Amino acid sequence: MILQNNMENLKKLGIPLIVIGSGSGKGGKLFASDASYPPEYVYANPDRKLYKGLKMREGKNIKDITNKEKKKRKQKRSTCCGLLYYFWNRLIRGEQGNIYQLGGTFLVDKNGKLLFEYRASFANDEFEHSEFIQNYLPEIIQKYKNEQNENDKNCKINQLQ
């Protein structure tokens, strides 16, 4: 899974990779177990305030969450398997959340400033984190450091006045 493959790379940069789901705490534990993801990095937001606040996308039917572009056979199989897995888990485990809600990737600093955002357009539209780490993250970190240095300079100037 993309998350686990890049978690160590992000840790080296001092960036924890946190998963926030719209389901229950039980669902978060099941996700952590299924995805072999550390449970201390999985949080639940059952009232979906964060999901709504980030203006995440939610479909009304299956067509809304499927890729509109011509699908390859592998993508079709992946979507079909995902739906089967969802319904199987629903039978076995009970409530599994909303099948129509789509995810995203966000980079937020310690102060809550949004540095990067990506919203999925369809199911299986996962952001390629390794490409992000190599091509975009260094630039974002440098820009952030420059802004912090500028803020520090302004604070020192204001203190002197």
Per-residue confidence of the chain (161 residues) as pLDDT tens digits?
455 666 776 777 677 778 887 777 787 788 788 778 888 888 888 888 888 888 887 777 766 666 666 555 445 555 555 555 555 555 555 555 566 677 777 877 777 788 788 887 776 666 666 677 777 777 777 777 787 777 777 776 655 55
Task: Report angle CA 68, 62, 5 to the nearest 5 degrees.
Answer: 70
The confidence score (pLDDT) of residue 73 equals 47
Residue 32 parent element (H or E): helix 25-35
- The structure tokens listed for 119 are 């919203």
Number of Cα atoms under 13 Å in the Cβ half of residue 19: 24
Tell me, rounded to whole angstroms, the distance of Cα 93 from its chain centroid.
24
**3 state DSSP class of 20:** strand
**3 state DSSP class of 21:** strand
- Cβ atoms of 6 and 18 closer than 8 Å: no
Cα–Cα separations (whole angstroms), residue 33 to 27, 28, 37, 101, 158: 10, 9, 7, 21, 51
Q: Whole-model pTM?
A: 0.58
